[in-house]
């Protein structure tokens, strides 16, 4: 538990910076799913791979009822802005290399806290 008085005690380190990165990635599914069930299978596979590789929170946040489109939301927390940008760029590169989807648009908002 954090208490404001803790930082004034001898031996305590001043709080480090915390950086969050929130991303939104619009995708077109190249495999041409014929049903929502097939689409969910493709999206779940991609989600699981991104989550396992980069340890981020990821979810389908829009276009759930469209068979060939998907919008993913991604959140991560880092200790510095450079690390947040690097991981965000690596996620985009990883998804581009997946070959099952095409990135239509992506945007990451990186904030210091």
Per residue in 50-105, pLDDT tens?
999 999 999 998 888 888 999 999 999 998 889 899 999 999 999 999 888 999 99
Q: For residue 65, is it within any domain?
A: yes
Looking at the predicted structure, is the pLDDT value of residue 18 above 90?
Answer: no
pTM (global) more than 0.85: no
User: How many Cβ atoms are within 10 Å of 102's Cβ, its own excluded?
Assistant: 13
Q: What CATH number is attached to the domain comprising 42?
A: 3.30.70.1120
Give the C-alpha separation, 15 to 75, whole Å: 22
Q: For residue 7, is it within any domain?
A: no
Q: For residue 79, is it within any domain?
A: yes
What is the domain count for the chain?
1
Residue 98 belongs to domain spanning: 17-112
User: How many Cβ atoms are within 10 Å of 25's Cβ, its own excluded?
Assistant: 22
Query: In the chain, what percentage of residues exceed pLDDT 70?
Result: 86
Q: For residue 84, is it within any domain?
A: yes
Q: What pLDDT does 8 receive? A: 52
Q: For residue 58, is it within any domain?
A: yes
- Decide if 112 contacts 19 (C-beta within 8 A): yes
Q: For residue 80, is it within any domain?
A: yes
Give the C-alpha separation, 76 to 87, whole Å: 9
Q: For residue 3, is it within any domain?
A: no
Q: For residue 8, is it within any domain?
A: no
């Amino acid at each position: 538990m954090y208490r404001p008085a803790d930082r004034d005690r001898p031996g305590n380190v001043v709080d480090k910076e915390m950086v969050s990165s929130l991303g939104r990635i619009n995708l077109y599914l190249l495999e041409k799913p014929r049903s929502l069930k097939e689409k969910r299978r493709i999206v779940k596979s991609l989600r699981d791979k991104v989550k396992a590789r980069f340890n981020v929170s990821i979810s389908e946040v829009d276009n759930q009822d469209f068979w060939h489109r998907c919008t993913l939301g991604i959140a991560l927390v880092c200790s510095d802005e450079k690390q947040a940008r690097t991981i965000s760029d690596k996620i985009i590169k990883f998804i581009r290399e997946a070959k099952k989807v095409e990135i239509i648009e992506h945007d990451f908002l990186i904030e210091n806290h």
